[in-house]
A = this chain, B = another copy of it.
Amino acid sequence: MPYYIGDVIKESKRLVIRTPEEFKKTGIDARVKTNVESIDAQKGLLYLSDGSNLPYDYLVMATGADAVRLDIPGKDLEGVYVIRNLMDTLKIKSYLNEGGCKKAVLIGGGYIGMEMCEALRNVGVDVKVIDILPRPACRWDPEFSKLIVEELGKNQVEFLPETKPLSIEKGKECRLKLITSNGELDADMVMMGVGTRYNTALAQSMGIEMGQSGAIKVDFHQKTSREGIWAVGDCCEVFHKVARRWVYFPLGDIANKQGRVAGQNVGGAPVEFPGIVGAQAFKVFNLEVAATGLTEEEAVKYGFEPVSSLIWGLPIGRPMATGEKLGIKLVGDKKTGKLLGGQCIGMKGAVQRVSALSIALWSGLTVDELGYVDLPYAPPFGGAWDAIHIAAQDLVRKL
């Protein structure tokens, strides 16, 4: 019988999503609100926080990652949050429902910051985003970040660049006061969205090998270095098909796929997880922001000779356009002519383009070929020459 053991999360608590009874119906012995305290890999035995132990033949580690909580004074004050799991969300929601939360400061202009500022504005909270970097969404080109800052501004969200959080105190006008390198900010809520860190302590305690990134090393079957032990999701690495190496890339869709692959393999159906190309997206108010593959900096790091091109096109046919903008940046490799990465931003059609670019990367297409690929054309959805073609042909001239 397969066992399911609640994720080891930082708070040593686990929200019950399904009851053990519900799990039992599907043939799974679920131990929720239960931590694995230690593992005896020789005996194949788990020691649980409820004092019991469980034997195993196969073990799948899905210990995930934690949201990083900046180690600054006041980090644990009431009203200071990270957001990682359902429990975090419920805490934040109940804090908001109590009322009186009028101002929030989000630390970090990444995914969490961008998505939360929209969510908080939607419930009428005044929002500021601060970042130690000069711009939000740094994975994207500076021109695109500029558009994001504009979009934030249109929605009354102020972005404060190069602003380092120093400490959090109880406030007077608001419940909290965030002291930064650029002055003080009043806030009823401070949310930290400054990255995640894999949970690998259990795996390390068993001598399982870690990869270069520091996360658990796995193979294409999701096997760890230790026979019978598998790892999936945000605690382990994944193969990046464009970078041609194992990387740490903690995204939910990847975790889902790895889980499925590990499950099939454990169940006796050998399946390989081919890897990723780095596809990712977020929405901030009315902007779609998406990227795939490598940035120029990553490409250099991985031994490519990147050349890039950024164009502003249209997400729909010119005769139908009414001022929509679509930015596409492509990165190609001078040595091989291959596409290395792409990013896209716009009110519509950005994710559509990055979906197509992701499969182009997956398949190892050259930029030249991308300039002629066959895409579904109709004026409501693009030009006869799609923005992808125009961007690719522009890049071809530089390669």
Contacts and interface: CB of A to CB of B under 8 A. Distances in A.
A95 interface: no
A274 B381 CA distance: 23
B278 A378 contact: no
Contacts of A359: 356, 359-360, 363, 365, 373, 375
B279 A375 contact: yes
B355 A253 contact: no
Contacts of A378: 280-283, 351
A279 B363 contact: no
Interface string A72-106: 00000000000000000000000000000000000
Interface residues of A, number: 50
Contacts of A140: none
A385 interface: yes
Interface string A365-397: 100010011111110110011100000000000
Q: 7 shortest A-B CB distances, which residue pairs?
A: A363-B363, A281-B376, A253-B377, A352-B352, A359-B359, A355-B356, A279-B376
26 contacts: A252-B377, A252-B384, A253-B374, A253-B386, A255-B384, A256-B384, A257-B385, A273-B372, A274-B369, A278-B374, A279-B374, A279-B375, A279-B377, A281-B377, A281-B378, A282-B378, A283-B380, A288-B381, A290-B376, A292-B374, A352-B355, A353-B355, A354-B376, A359-B365, A362-B373, A363-B365
Interface of A: 241, 251-257, 261, 273-283, 288, 290-292, 351-356, 358-360, 362-365, 369, 372-378, 380-381, 384-386
